Chain A
Amino acid sequence: MKAISTALLIAIFIPLGLYAAAPEVAEAAAAEGNKITMITEKFGVSVPTLIAQMINFGLVAIVLYFFAVKPVVKTLDERQQKIADGLQYAEEMKTQLAEAERERAEKIKQAAIDAQKILTEAREQSKEMIEVKTQEAAAQAEAIIRKASEATELERLKMLSDVRQEVARLVVSTTAAVLSKELSDADKQTFSDAAAKELAGSAS
Chain B
Amino acid sequence: MTRDKKVLRFAKKLVELSSENGIVTEARVSDVLAGLKKTTVRNKGLVLKTYLHYMRRAVAEQTAVVATPGALSAEALAAIESNFTKVYGRPITATTTKDESLIAGVRIRVGDDVYDASVAGRLKRFAESVN
Contacts and interface: CB of A to CB of B under 8 A. Distances in A.
Interface in A151-195: 161, 164-165, 167-169, 171-172, 175-176, 179-180, 183, 185, 187-189, 191-193, 195
Contacts, number: 94
A19 B77 CA distance: 185
A191 B104 contact: yes
A99 interface: no
B117 interface: yes
Interface residues of A, number: 30
Nearest to B131: A161
A201 B106 CA distance: 14
B86 interface: yes
Contacts of B119: 176, 179, 191
Interface residues of B, number: 34
A200 B110 CA distance: 12
Contacts of A201: 79, 83
Contacts of A189: 70-73
Given A167-B130, A193-B76, 7 more contacts: A180-B100, A188-B104, A193-B72, A195-B106, A196-B108, A199-B80, A202-B115
